[in-house]
Amino acid sequence: MNDNNTLSLSIMSGKGGVGKTNIVLNLGYALHGAEMTSMLMDCDLGLANLDVLLGISPDRTLHDLLQTGVDAEDVLVAIENGFDMLPATSGVPELVEMDEDMQDILFKKLVNLAGEYDFLMLDLGAGISHTVLSFASLTQLRIVVVTPEPTSLTDSYAMIKVLVTQHGVKDFLVLVNQATSAGEAKQTFERLSAACKNFLNIDLRNLGFIHQDSTLVESVRRQTPLLKFAPNAQASKDIKGIAKKLMRYREDNLERISGRAILKDFPTP
């Protein structure tokens, strides 16, 4: 049982480069600002880059957690007090595809620690690799990040389709990123939502949108998270709004959350 009220989330997308890592990191900052604790896990095992956005080079990564006897606590990097992350390693081919045994080792080491936080957020790699799909089906919620680009929409649809038809996952929150207006964001959500309704018979939930904002691009260049670099930028405000929605969801569903494992199949002993 999960007695610690941790809400677990996967942040995912069909296509790469849509903003997942920036969103995860800045959501973590927004939650921290609201006195919520969170743990981010860099699960983009091919192109890990949470550490790059923070301008740090961690001594240990998930690779060490899997390959050596170290505990999750030893790999954890504190970003702020009560806001921690587990860094990954880029370009280690055997990690890009994790077999079930490795996944078992990883999550068993992780699940107790994760229970100490209000939120656990997994920054997943783009696409439909086995690792991505199985991680996504373990968390309580999934946030699919899409941009208004047609390729982002079609790739997101393809990813959702595989999760629905092969993994029995049916609930998704959609977050539109890099929208130039509320109208464009709405249209993007509605396109994806209509396709999922017509062909997969599922209802997507709209989590809202984040504006396209050149300040975010600048924050990436400076390796300083947007909420720290420009807390009043439009995209910062949008992300704080999304964090509030997630906090409200957690509050409203605490009873349900505490009755479920943080990661399905990995109940805390």
Q: Contact residues for ligand ADP (CB under 6 A)?
A: 13, 16-22, 177-178, 210, 212-213, 216-217, 220, 235
- Residue 129 CB, shortest distance to Mg ion, in Å, is 14
- Residue 4 CB, shortest distance to Mg ion, in Å, is 27
Instruction: Please tell me the distance from the alpha carbon of residue 87 to that of residue 108, in angstroms, as a whole number.
Output: 17
Cβ proximity to ligand ADP: between 16 and 82 the closer is 16
Site for Mg ion in 7-66 (CB under 5 A): 20-21, 44
The answer to whether 41 touches 61, Cβ cutoff 8 Å, is: no
Cβ proximity to ligand ADP: between 192 and 235 the closer is 235
Cβ proximity to ligand ADP: between 20 and 250 the closer is 20
The 3-state secondary structure of 41-61 reads EEECCCCCCHHHHHCCCCCCC
Is residue 100 exposed (0-12), middle (13-18) or buried (19+ Cβ within 10 Å)? exposed
Cβ proximity to Mg ion: between 24 and 164 the closer is 24
The answer to whether residue 152 forms part of the interface with Mg ion (CB under 5 A) is: no
- CB-closest chain residue to Mg ion: 21
- Residue 47 CB, shortest distance to ligand ADP, in Å, is 7
The closest of 153, 156, 159, 152 to 133, measured between CA atoms, is: 159
3-state secondary structure of 182: helix
The closest of 214, 244, 174 to 31, measured between CA atoms, is: 244
Cβ proximity to ligand ADP: between 14 and 115 the closer is 14
- CB-closest chain residue to ligand ADP: 19
Instruction: Please tell me the distance from the alpha carbon of residue 176 to that of residue 156, in angstroms, as a whole number.
Output: 11
Cβ proximity to Mg ion: between 22 and 188 the closer is 22
3-state secondary structure of 145: strand
Number of chain positions touching Mg ion (CB under 5 A): 3
Q: Which residues contact 1 (CB under 8 A, 6 or more apart)?
A: 258, 259, 261, 267, 268
Residue 40, binding choice from ligand ADP, Mg ion, none, Cβ under 5 to 8 Å by partner class? none
Under the rule (CB under 5 A), what is the footprint of Mg ion? 20-21, 44
